[in-house]
Structure 1
Amino acid sequence: MTKQTLTAADLEGRVQFHHDTQIMEVSFQNCTLANSVDVNFFYDHIEQQIAQTGESLWFFLVNYCEARIDNSAWFAFSRRGKELNLAHSMGSVRFDASEITRRQIERDAGTEAFDPNLFYDRESAIERLKSLPSKRRTKVVHKHSFTLSDLKWRLEFMPQEQIMYADFSGMSFEHSTDVNDVYDFIESEVGKTGQKWYFLVNYDGTRIQSPAWVQYAARGKRLNEAFSLGSVRYAPGSETEADIRRRAESQDFRPNIRNTREEALERIAEMKAEAAHT
């Protein structure tokens, strides 16, 4: 299993918010991201810091001075960076990248259709951000994707098996409002039972869009800590499965992903047996 090399202390002070200019400054200076676990740990931290500001949109100023990103970490780094930009960036600039990092960023820019906006110094990068228009002037009002009737049939309790079944098949979580609507409903229904359950979750054809991921991870963690004896997911599909596995690396939980409902139920039976012997 890949081991995390970064600690919480390593990330202190690396994310700063300049409220007057609406800039979030992230420093990878002298930081080595040795593997995907480190990448996910760092980006989880960035997402948490953004959530705490209460503002969803920022200009991103990224310091790459003497940063090192190992080859094995690049895919996760590119993926999480793209997700973060789609969800929270009004514009991103990068500065002080080494030649190796610069070439890799430019290669990604050529394949992922984004402007790398690379500068040699911080001042030039800030001037570029100041030239970009803010999108905060327009208040974002999310449209609710799900009604109560859409959700009622998706939740089932199986008391004999101690299983709560949640059917997320075919759902697309577009933003935080969708996440809150779904998890408010689940928390309310589970809370009425007055007990904990093994969670069986159907992810067949489920999509968790980039603007929804921060809140999705936070609400899922809260639900599990309060009501879960263990969670097993099945049929998530390649993209959602990859996202879940990436985040599980740095958030200290087992993804417990199976291909079919039958395999997921077998895993829950194993979990019950393990609990009985502890």
Structure 2
Amino acid sequence: MNDKQPPRRETIALNTKLEEDFVAPLTAMRGALEILRDYPELAEEERVRFAEKALRGCARLEASVRHLGDVLYADKDAATRAKPTPSEHAKRVKLNYDDRLIDLDLSGIQFSSPEMVNEFFDTVDQIIEDTGTDWFFVVNYACRIWPEAWIAFAHRAKKINVSFSLGTVRYVDVSDNDPWARAAADDPTIHSSRDDALAEISAMRSGRSR
């Protein structure tokens, strides 16, 4: 066996990321454009719908390419040198006991390694565990996750959701004109403002109370 070959789990994670960021939008664009080409008799509203689908695919692909460029050309050494301390991590966790809500602020963080991911989530886990209860989470997701940190990040985020979450909603503030936020906002599962995220949390509360 070639020792330099990446572990199978990392290969699967990378392939999944490539599928989501590049193959999926290309497939959607091609499907929509082929329908427009092959069915000229479509009603105008249908043609508009498929054209908009292709444009959404273009936007997703553009965001993925922009993100890839950031990853390839960002100053990773600077991110490593600026590694936050546990006390700085703790400042990113805000507990609202009245609303049973945690604001988790990931904005501006570059998760450049599994070690950094684990240091961050070790702090977060301890804070939440000390409360002795479960929470709703609203997460500012304007962060960067380096490819080698993806598996650790996905595992630790999933662990928090399973262990402590009554419901989790992610958002980025696109009004900040932050390129990281703009790239993340192209993900349909991420809200474009904290207010929108809180509205979904409210809907979750209503659903649980029925």
The answer as to whether partners of 1:167 and 1:203 remain within 8 angstroms in 2 is yes
CA RMSD of aligned residues (A): 3.6
Of residues 47, 72, 75 in structure 1, which corresponds to 2:27?
72
Of residues 83, 88, 93 in structure 2, which corresponds to 1:145?
83
Local SS of the residue matching 2:169: strand
Query: Are residues 1:154 and 2:92 paired?
Result: yes
How has the CA–CA distance of structure 1 residues 234 and 21 changed in structure 2, closer, same or farther, with 3 Å as cutoff? closer
Query: Are residues 1:263 and 2:207 paired?
Result: no
**Paired residue type of 1:238:** R
**Paired residue type of 2:27:** S
The answer as to whether partners of 1:144 and 1:177 remain within 8 angstroms in 2 is no
The answer as to whether partners of 1:146 and 1:181 remain within 8 angstroms in 2 is no
The answer as to whether partners of 2:172 and 2:193 remain within 8 angstroms in 1 is yes
Aligned equivalents of 1:25 and 1:179: distance in 2? 19
Partner of 2:144: 207
Aligned equivalents of 2:7 and 2:150: distance in 1? 21
Deviation of 1:270 after TM superposition, in Å, equals 0.6
Aligned equivalents of 2:10 and 2:159: distance in 1? 15
Aligned equivalents of 1:203 and 1:180: distance in 2? 17
Query: Are residues 1:217 and 2:154 paired?
Result: yes
Deviation of 1:269 after TM superposition, in Å, equals 0.5
How has the CA–CA distance of structure 1 residues 263 and 46 changed in structure 2, closer, same or farther, with 3 Å as cutoff? same
Identity %: 26
Partner of 2:5: 23
TM-score under structure 1 length normalisation: 0.47
Deviation of 1:193 after TM superposition, in Å, equals 0.8
Aligned equivalents of 2:3 and 2:193: distance in 1? 49
Q: Comparing both structures, which one devotes a greater share of its residues to helix?
A: 2
1:1-278 equivalence runs, <5 A? 18=1, 20-23=2-5, 46-47=12-13, 72=27, 145-204=83-142, 206-235=143-172, 237-242=181-186, 255=189, 257-277=190-210
Aligned equivalents of 1:172 and 1:183: distance in 2? 14
Q: Which runs of 5+ in 2 are unaligned?
A: 15-22, 31-56, 73-79, 174-180
Deviation of 1:45 after TM superposition, in Å, equals 7.2
Q: Comparing both structures, which one devotes a greater share of its residues to strand?
A: 1
Deviation of 1:222 after TM superposition, in Å, equals 0.8
Q: Which runs of 5+ in 1 are unaligned?
A: 1-17, 27-42, 49-68, 87-111, 113-141, 246-254
Aligned equivalents of 1:262 and 1:224: distance in 2? 21
Aligned equivalents of 2:126 and 2:84: distance in 1? 16
Deviation of 1:177 after TM superposition, in Å, equals 1.2
**Paired residue type of 1:22:** K
Aligned equivalents of 2:193 and 2:7: distance in 1? 43
Local SS of the residue matching 1:262: helix
Per-residue CA deviations over 1:131-170 (Å, capped at 9, x if unaligned) read xxxxxxxxxxx76711022112111111111101111121
TM-score under structure 2 length normalisation: 0.60
Question: Where does structure 1 differ by over 4 angstroms across 4 or more consecutive aligned residues?
Answer: 73-77
